[in-house]
Structure 1
Amino acid sequence: MLDFYSSTPYRDGLTKLMNQVINIDVYGKAEDQICAGCEHSCGDCKPGTKRRTIELVDEFRTLLAASDIGACYSVTFYESTPQNIARNYDVQKLLSMASLEPVVCLGGKVTYLGGFSPEGLLSELRKKQ
């Protein structure tokens, strides 16, 4: 088989770009009790239906690792401290104005605010593939 494009300068760059792992950064308070994907007002939730943020992030990590797209992503949780939120300018601006945790960033860009559903986030990532 002939490879007519073997000498193009764009080929290696595109291959490297396609093989890069995309970072998913979650900024929040690990011990906060939050809803796991409710469709209604959080005031209506029963205390037993809320879970700790870190538990939801860990569940998402497990679901992602077991999925067909797991190798494409890396998940990191950052406690919402001034030092950690300073890592991302947009997160810092948002959290300085309001308590919107957890904040989920995909590839450094703020993607989701204020709630966390492990199954829902995995579903959204699959749509982006």
Structure 2
Amino acid sequence: MNTLPAYLKSIEYDENLSLVSLDTPIGTLWVLLLATQDMRHDMSVGAELCAIFKPTQVLLTAQNPAPYVQNCFASRITHIQKDTILSLVSLEGGIDALVPTRGIDNLGEGDRCFWYVNPSDVLLES
């Protein structure tokens, strides 16, 4: 699991959803959550949290997909463990991505790439 320490920067509520902005060592991470009444009272700006997401939820690309995409970060590849079907790619900042090997044929250790995680794929732990 990918785990990032974080501080809650902001939170917006809309009926049963909330959009949370987190300050992490790699930048701002956005999280989309189902909101409960208890959550509205428990979460406050500045709270220390942990953002968690699976390596299978990390998407990689050699080029920046779009400058306005939330949760898109630039990193260098620190290690690649290739297999026939899947490869485990380690990135700066302690992020791992488990991706199809065919999709990273043009990437190698030391290369700069972009990675993305969907805001609805991130879990929060206090």
Q: TM-score, normalised by structure 2?
A: 0.28
Q: TM-score, normalised by structure 1?
A: 0.28
Higher relative contact order (CA 8 A, sep 6+): 1
Greater share of helix residues, 1 or 2?
1
Greater share of strand residues, 1 or 2?
2
